[in-house]
Every structure is written in structure tokens, then in C-alpha cells.
Amino acid sequence: MKLRLILGDQLSLSLASLTDATADDLLLMCEVRQEATYVKHHKKKIVFLFSAMRHFATELSDNGFHVHYVKYDDPENTGSLLGEVRRITAQPGISEVVLTAPGEYRLSEDFAGWADALGVPVTVREDDRFLSTPTEFSDWAEGRKQLRMEYFYRDMRRKYSVLMDQDGPIGGQWNYDAENRKPPATGLNVPDTFRAPPDLITQDVMTLVETHFADHFGDLLPFHFAVTRDQALHALDTFVANRLNKFGDYQDAMIQGEPWMYHSHIGLYLNCGLLNPLECIERAEAAYHKGTAPLNAVEGFIRQILGWREYVRGIYWLKMPEYKAMNFLDAKRPLPDLYWTADTQMNCMRQCVSETKQNAYAHHIQRLMVLGNFALIAGLDPDEVNNWYLLVYADAYEWVELPNVTGMILFADGGQMASKPYAASGSYINKMSNYCGSCKYKVTVKNGPNACPFNYLYWDFIGRNDAKLRGNPRMGFMYKTLDRMSGEKRDAIKDDAHRFLKAIENNEKV
């Protein structure tokens, strides 16, 4: 009899380790302290995953499999994956342990020692739920000076024949991003996100999480995530029907009180296996061909999944474990409390942290240009920033979180992913959101106590990192502007930044 362990982000019937499973095998799923606390995940993320795991176990049993499911509060639960596998292999009858490769490096290291630890053969199969493999990615990367997502994405479009017109892209362009930067319009009637009412299984898990994870970040209520594949498909279809048509136009827009905007909110389902990437791409492409969504929206959405998602995974497996320790800009400031409390007068930060706390979700531009931009220009420590992003979002796993944080927002990899840092002053946030109108700070004021902190922090960041960034060809214009500033102006920037950064180090309200 084979023992097949299924992890919390492996909730797919097509899973590699299940392809040859029979009713004679034992399928193991376990809720363990090791995974629930290696970072202190948002309460909603734990509810989501435990509930989705329990529903998936039922689905497997309904399909005739023999499932051994260990609940978190089972008194026999050892708290670790190896401990749970050992409890079973200690009994006679298990000839082999079969696994699907995990999504995180720390577990793949761990699995490598299991055969010795258990005294039973352990087979780890490639996770084929992605559209490219780590080997394909490293072949693609071989010999390239720069690993630009755009070129990888074009190859993926060709490989899967997505939005193609014979050999070229439909519409004549590969990328319609230039059309996808509309500021928020007033009077937009943004459709609500998909909401599934919590059933009895989810309600049980909510009680468990309230009991065992009370000190974890985040609000438990309201809980409305899909927890089964059927519900996740419904969420996907609702997105395609109601929001995809404006996904492109408002992809970068932020509106106060609209946490969901026109995004899909499917990342958490894709990353735990309830949805597969190709079906999402196919449904979006079909909407374009039916004429219910324009090309800029469909191409933009498909690029996120076929391009960015696969690309960041490729970067992760190519660069780990060194990637995790990178700190090119030598940023050392601890993460200020406001990332947990939302207690700040910066309205943009208050909105984005509050929404993250409530929903275990923030859309991409909030993660990138508000929360991430602040972390970059305030010089926050990459380890602390990574820890925060990995625990606050329901879709967060290290393979996707780390490259986005270390590479995309913090430039901590020295430009392996992004050609220049995504740093911006308050005027970008003002252009793409309506946050500044309700802020204590004035976005048009550059210095002094009423100035928007993003304004002077931005220039202080440029000045502070002169030695590392001046040589970057895409930063030339910024350094020319800095060089033209008067000594007085530069002093004012330094003084304001110094005062502000001291205040956040002391966790004073800013």
C-alpha cells in the first residue's frame, strides 16, 4: 500500500501524486502546527485553507479513495508533516510514500531527508499544475543577461497558442498595458466580489481558528471565500461575466472603499489548486472571441497568469536559496507597527492596511505602489517585509510572494527582476487613486510637516542610494533632477525624511 501525502496547496484531483492512486492506497491530509505557524498566517487564510482541505478530503472519499484526515485539534496530532507521515509508516503495510513537489524551498529541503528519517522509499513527483517547469525556465534563462518577463511571456503565448493569429499576436501587439492605466473614474459601479456563505464545515474551522490562532493578524469575519472547486469555478465565471471587461482599464486604479475593484480574486484558488491556470486563461480568451470583453482587458488578465505567475515561479526555483537572503540596497529599518495596526494619518496606507486586515486581500497596485513603494522608499528590512507579505494574504506562498517582494518591490535582488526600482512620489498615488483627497497630508506639498511623506521619502531614497542606483540607465533622469536641486532643497528633503523615519522607528503615529 502506498501512502500519498496531499498538502494544503495541492487540492487538485489531477495532482501528480494521485494519477495512479487506487482504492488500496492511503491518502493523508493533515492540519499541522508546522505549516499553520511557520509564519503567523492571517486568520482568514487559515480558515480558507483548512476548510478547503476538509472539503477536498470529502471529495476524495466520494471518489472512492481511502483518506486519513488529521484535524488540528486531534489530540494525537504531532504538529508536523513528517510526524504525521511517521505515525502511519510506523505501522506495517506502507511500501512507499508518494509526494508531489512542494511549493516552497524549505519543504523541498525537508522532504529530501524523509526517506532516511522514515526508512521507507519516498518518491517526489514534479508538480505539473503549472504551465512551465523550473527546468524549462532555467533553459530559457540560460545565457540571457536580463530575465525580462515580457520575452518569457511571448514564448508562453506561442507555446500554448493563446491570443495568437498564426505566428503573431492577435491585434498586432503582444502587450496592451499602455491602455491599462486609467485613473479611477467617478461614479463607477464596481460589481461585488463573489461571496459563498460559510457552511457547517467552514463554521467549525472558524471556531477552531478563533480558539487556536487568536493572536494571529486579521479579521475572521466576514468570511465569504469559495472553499470547493465548484464554488471557485463559480467565482471565476462571475469575474469573467461581470468584471473582466473593465479589468484592463482600471487595473492600476484604487478607489477608497472599493477593495476588490475589477480584479479577479482568484489567486488564492489558483495557488491551492482549486482552479488551474489554463482554464482561467481559456475562459478569458473565449470572452474576447465572444465579444464580451475587449482585447486590452483579456490580454492584460492572461499576461498575469501565463506571464507573471509562471515567471515569478521560474525565478524562485532558479534563484533559491540565495534569493531569500538578498538585500542589495542594504535596507535595515524594522517594519513599523502601522503595517499591523493601520494606525497612520497617511490615508493610502491606512486604507490598504485596513483592507488587507479585513479581507486577507489587496489588489496588485495597492501591494505594489502603496504598501510596497512605502517599504522601498522607507528602507524597510527585506526579511521583515517578506514575512509580512507572506502571512497577510490568502494567496501567499513563498514561491510567488518572495520574487514579488524581494525582486519587484524592494529591488533587493539588484535588478534581476525589475529593470529599475518601483519607487514613486505621492503624485503617482494621487493620479491613480482618490485617497489623497481624504488625507491629512497634502500631496502637492513637498516639504514640511504637512507634506505628503511619499514626496520627500522618494527623493531621500534616490539620494540615499546614489552609489547603487546612479549607474542604472533608467534612473538617469532622476539623478539629473536631483543634481539640479538647490542645497537648501536637498537639506529640507533630508531633514523631513530623517524626522519621519525616526518617528516610524519609534512607532510614533505618522
- Footprint on this chain of ligand FAD (rule: CB under 6 A): 263-267, 270-271, 301, 304-305, 308-309, 312, 363-364, 367-368, 372, 389, 393, 395-396, 400-401, 404-405, 408-409
Closest CB to ligand SF4 among residues 275, 436: 436
Burial of 36 (0-12, 13-18, 19+ CB in 10 A): buried
**Nearest Cα residue to 401 out of 355, 356, 367, 358:** 367
Rounded to 5 degrees, φ, ψ at 168 are -115, 170
Total number of residues that touch ligand DLZ (CB under 6 A) = 16
Identify the residue whose cell numbers are 503549472.
Answer: 130
Binding partner of residue 367 among ligand DLZ, ligand FAD, ligand SF4, none, CB cut-off 5 to 8 Å per kind: ligand FAD
**Nearest Cα residue to 17 out of 104, 120, 87, 96:** 96
Beta bridge partners of 254: 433
Amino acid type, 42: H
Binding partner of residue 170 among ligand FAD, ligand DLZ, ligand SF4, none, CB cut-off 5 to 8 Å per kind: none
**Measured from the CB of residue 442, what is the shortest distance to ligand SF4 in angstroms?**
6
**Measured from the CB of residue 364, what is the shortest distance to ligand SF4 in angstroms?**
18
Q: Can the peptide bond before residue 321 be classed as cis, meaning omega within 30 degrees of 0?
A: yes
Binding partner of residue 405 among ligand SF4, ligand DLZ, ligand FAD, none, CB cut-off 5 to 8 Å per kind: ligand FAD
Binders in 16-45 for ligand DLZ, by CB under 6 A:
30-32, 35-36, 41
Spell 482-500 as b/e; 16+ CB within 10 A means b: beeeeeeeeebbeebbeeb
**Measured from the CB of residue 432, what is the shortest distance to ligand SF4 in angstroms?**
10
End-to-end CA distance of the chain: 61
Binding of residue 206 to ligand DLZ (CB under 6 A): no
**Measured from the CB of residue 438, what is the shortest distance to ligand FAD in angstroms?**
23
**Nearest Cα residue to 98 out of 70, 122, 82:** 122
Measured between alpha carbons, how far is 196 from 268 in angstroms, rounded to an integer? 14
Closest CB to ligand FAD among residues 69, 308: 308
**Measured from the CB of residue 117, what is the shortest distance to ligand FAD in angstroms?**
30
Measured between alpha carbons, how far is 436 from 429 in angstroms, rounded to an integer? 8
Binding partner of residue 355 among ligand DLZ, ligand SF4, ligand FAD, none, CB cut-off 5 to 8 Å per kind: none
The contacts of residue 497 (CB under 8 Å, 6+ apart) are 456, 457, 459, 460
| DSSP element (H, E) containing 28 | strand 26-30
**Measured from the CB of residue 393, what is the shortest distance to ligand DLZ in angstroms?**
11
**Nearest Cα residue to 410 out of 388, 387, 379:** 379
**Measured from the CB of residue 410, what is the shortest distance to ligand DLZ in angstroms?**
21
Measured between alpha carbons, how far is 104 from 399 in angstroms, rounded to an integer? 6
Binding partner of residue 436 among ligand DLZ, ligand FAD, ligand SF4, none, CB cut-off 5 to 8 Å per kind: ligand SF4
Closest CB to ligand FAD among residues 246, 350: 246
Binding partner of residue 441 among ligand DLZ, ligand SF4, ligand FAD, none, CB cut-off 5 to 8 Å per kind: ligand SF4
The SS3 assignment for 254 reads strand
Q: Are 309 and 408 in contact (CB under 8 A)?
A: no
**Measured from the CB of residue 464, what is the shortest distance to ligand DLZ in angstroms?**
35
Binders in 382-401 for ligand DLZ, by CB under 6 A:
397
DSSP per-residue letters across 29-71: EE--HHHHHTTT--HHHHHHHHHHHHHHHHHHHHTT-EEEEE-
Contact pattern from residue 97 through residue 136 relative to ligand DLZ, giving x for each residue in contact according to CB under 6 A and a dash for the rest: -----xxx--x-----------------------------
Task: By CB under 6 A, name the one of 11, 16, 18, 49 that touches ligand DLZ.
Answer: 49
**Measured from the CB of residue 36, what is the shortest distance to ligand DLZ in angstroms?**
4
Binding partner of residue 346 among ligand FAD, ligand DLZ, ligand SF4, none, CB cut-off 5 to 8 Å per kind: ligand SF4
Rounded to 5 degrees, φ, ψ at 367 are -65, -40
| DSSP element (H, E) containing 123 | strand 122-125
Closest CB to ligand DLZ among residues 29, 423: 29
**Measured from the CB of residue 455, what is the shortest distance to ligand SF4 in angstroms?**
7
Measured between alpha carbons, how far is 275 from 146 in angstroms, rounded to an integer? 31
Site residues, ligand SF4 (CB under 6 A): 346-348, 426, 429-430, 435-436, 439, 441, 443, 452-454
Measured between alpha carbons, how far is 70 from 99 in angstroms, rounded to an integer? 17
Closest CB to ligand SF4 among residues 21, 254: 254
**Measured from the CB of residue 322, what is the shortest distance to ligand SF4 in angstroms?**
34
Task: By CB under 6 A, name the one of 3, 7, 82, 326 that touches ligand DLZ.
Answer: 7
**Measured from the CB of residue 464, what is the shortest distance to ligand SF4 in angstroms?**
19
Closest CB to ligand DLZ among residues 100, 465: 100
Task: Name the residues that contact ligand DLZ, by CB under 6 A.
Answer: 7-9, 30-32, 35-36, 41, 46, 49, 102-104, 107, 397
